[in-house]
Chains A and B, each alone.
Chain A
């Protein structure tokens, strides 16, 4: 892990509101507040895991960081330079530094292009001169991700899911980016292929000092690969901490519920696992009309009056160090009974 303070990426008040329009004149009648004011850093050489409920804004955050979309508000500093509102022309040279890997290895590769064309595309688009020609460079990349360089002329359908994900990673690596945002890169893969891809990402990080933002639903994989983890809920970051701390000592009620729901691959613990689960009841709020105050309050068993009136800031709580921040007025204490259950703890 890198030293704190050496931030490759610094995000402040980041917002993305998608307009909702109506009628032929496309009059704006509201907005989906997909990302609604978030602050965090990504340190050089680390992996920041990003988790949270479906629809909470993870992919949108990833696309903002890599500037595939433009934020509605806030700033994104990459290496000290605010890139939040750069125009396409100004962004082009930066594209070399930031890349995104997408979830679906099946649809993210053009089926009519050969592997050589796909992996070589970044060189051509960016007009990058390679020492021994593009073909050689592509073959080196294929070797790097564990594919046979002789497969240069094959088409995506001739590869397995894991191999296709490797092709996507090879393309991502072509220009030696500093930052890679991986959005659910292993969700569609079976556990053995998933292990191959995770190991590959770790090897590449060690070799090239890459920085990752790793988005996933699978909290076991996130725990394995991340140095720090940020938990999002309805467009906000509700908790951020280093990996061990977050898994062993979650403070935000939503994080507690999330961790308690991970199925454990041990049939002997099945009943206990089901008993320990914190089930979230109450209305699932909408990002169009988020609840006042704390957005989790409609489903939180600890909610009190202040939760509806005052939005809790993301700050260290109780005796937590500065690196462990929680946006909650009544953070969960270790060993506390939650929603009538004793929380399931994990060994980090």
Chain B
């Protein structure tokens, strides 16, 4: 970067939805940075604000039903306070998104080819023929067999996995520098998933793009992400390099997440260990630490957990942040001596 700014910087992002029951604080003060060529994995409970964050970055909320505040810097442009026209230009060109549900984000009445061609021509002044060639090319690159024939198919003629690949082709048609993939492989079987992960990895190295991958699948995160952001109740509760998060996590919620997942690389457990309790209400977040009603280490914070909101502070790893009152040494000790042995038992 010429001016020393990171490629993408999100600062104190808030996305609040006023509703009849009260204000839903879906994202409440989120900050992170991402450079080109790097991949950020975002994980967290269902409803923790992952999709809202990405839609917020893409500028897909209008001011009438959402309060968006904070700053989003993309390659020197600030997006939160920019006009909708500016953000619209950047979208599909400099940044693109693969949505959680491929069926609802493709138009059922237009052929796959037509949708990709139009996405391309919005940002490139080329003839239809040239754009079509590009579309066929792109479908071939995402692994659609016989792309020159399948380009004229409608979405319903594609299987789930093919639709997902077509979505990816559409998102990539303008070589975006920032790609956000929201649960890109959830509906796919593992062989197709593996192809798509490899594809995203290859395209990223080819175009040196910045990639944000949102997923419930910690295996996918471990394979793709350089850094991992763990969200809980609309906030970041832990951030760090992938190795740090998987090998030396320090937040009790992250521990719970790792513990609830069955793993093929370990002996089979008799019983999975879910995190007890229910997800928090985003209208009335619990006092103090939002995770405290479900945290078995809360008693060790001497009452702080239920009364004082912890800040995001430096933790043991390099570039490692955690939102928890326990002292770093104590968290490291609990992980190494209590939690990790439990998970590996």
Taking CB atoms, residues of chain B closer than 8 Å to A53 are 189, 191-192
CB distance from A190 to the nearest CB of B (A): 4
Asked if B13 is an interface residue, CB under 8 A from chain A, the answer is no
B contact residues, range = 35 or more
Cα A219 to Cα B199 in complex, Å, equals: 22
Cα A187 to Cα B217 in complex, Å, equals: 10
Cα A189 to Cα B215 in complex, Å, equals: 11
Contacts A191-B257, A192-B257; A264 near B274 (Cβ below 8 A) = no
Which single member of A55, A188, A274, A346 contacts B265 (CB below 8 Å)? A346
Residues of chain A in range 259-296 having any CB-CB distance to chain B below 8 Å: 259, 261-270, 273-274, 277, 279-280, 283-284
Cα A163 to Cα B219 in complex, Å, equals: 25
Asked if B60 is an interface residue, CB under 8 A from chain A, the answer is no
CB distance from B4 to the nearest CB of A (A): 29
Which single member of A160, A195, A279, A346 contacts B264 (CB below 8 Å)? A346
Asked if B36 is an interface residue, CB under 8 A from chain A, the answer is no
Contacts A217-B189, A224-B268, A346-B265; A195 near B260 (Cβ below 8 A) = yes
Taking CB atoms, residues of chain B closer than 8 Å to A90 are none
Which single member of A55, A195, A270 contacts B159 (CB below 8 Å)? A55
CB distance A274 to B159 under 8 Å? no
CB distance B190 to A219 under 8 Å? yes
Which single member of B47, B246, B278, B279 contacts A265 (CB below 8 Å)? B246
CB distance B272 to A224 under 8 Å? yes
State how many residues of chain A have any CB contact under 8 Å with chain B: 52
Cα A192 to Cα B46 in complex, Å, equals: 9
CB distance from B44 to the nearest CB of A (A): 8
Contact with A along B35-73 (1 / 0, CB 8 A): 000000000111100000000000000000000000000
Asked if A247 is an interface residue, CB under 8 A from chain B, the answer is yes
Residues of chain B in range 150-177 having any CB-CB distance to chain A below 8 Å: 159-161
Asked if A221 is an interface residue, CB under 8 A from chain B, the answer is yes
Which of A33-41, A134-142, A168-176, A196-204 lies at the binding interface? A196-204
CB distance A187 to B192 under 8 Å? no
Which single member of A223, A263, A266 contacts B193 (CB below 8 Å)? A263
Taking CB atoms, residues of chain B closer than 8 Å to A333 are none
Cα A279 to Cα B192 in complex, Å, equals: 9
- Total contacts A to B, CB within 8 angstroms? 150
Contacts A160-B278, A220-B263, A270-B223; A258 near B191 (Cβ below 8 A) = yes
CB distance from B188 to the nearest CB of A (A): 6
Contacts A161-B46, A266-B246; A348 near B261 (Cβ below 8 A) = no
Which single member of B46, B187, B218, B271 contacts A193 (CB below 8 Å)? B46
CB distance B193 to A196 under 8 Å? no
Asked if B18 is an interface residue, CB under 8 A from chain A, the answer is no
Cα A268 to Cα B247 in complex, Å, equals: 9
Residues of chain A in range 123-159 having any CB-CB distance to chain B below 8 Å: none
CB distance A267 to B222 under 8 Å? yes
Asked if B30 is an interface residue, CB under 8 A from chain A, the answer is no
Asked if B273 is an interface residue, CB under 8 A from chain A, the answer is yes
Contacts A261-B191, A265-B222; A54 near B278 (Cβ below 8 A) = no
Asked if A28 is an interface residue, CB under 8 A from chain B, the answer is no
Cα A244 to Cα B177 in complex, Å, equals: 44
Taking CB atoms, residues of chain B closer than 8 Å to A263 are 190, 193-194, 197, 217, 219-220, 222-223
Asked if A52 is an interface residue, CB under 8 A from chain B, the answer is yes
Q: Nearest residue in B to A266 (C-beta to C-beta)? A: B222
Contacts A223-B262, A263-B223, A269-B265; A191 near B218 (Cβ below 8 A) = yes
Cα A332 to Cα B218 in complex, Å, equals: 30
What 5 pairs across the A-B complex have the smallest Cβ distances?
A263-B219, A195-B274, A195-B272, A195-B260, A261-B194
User: Residues of B with Cβ closer than 8 Å to A?
Assistant: 44-47, 145, 159-161, 186-195, 197-198, 216-223, 225, 242-243, 246-247, 256-258, 260-269, 271-275, 278-279
12 example contacts (A-B, Cβ-Cβ < 8 A) are as follows A160-B47, A191-B257, A192-B257, A193-B46, A217-B188, A221-B262, A223-B262, A223-B268, A263-B190, A266-B246, A268-B243, A269-B222
User: Residues of A with Cβ closer than 8 Å to B?
Assistant: 52-55, 160-163, 187-196, 198-199, 202, 217, 219-221, 223-224, 243, 247, 257-259, 261-270, 273-274, 277, 279-280, 283-284, 346-348
Please give 10 more A-B residue pairs, beta carbons under 8 A apart, in addition to A217-B190, A258-B189.
Answer: A161-B46, A190-B45, A192-B257, A193-B46, A220-B219, A223-B264, A263-B219, A263-B222, A265-B263, A267-B246
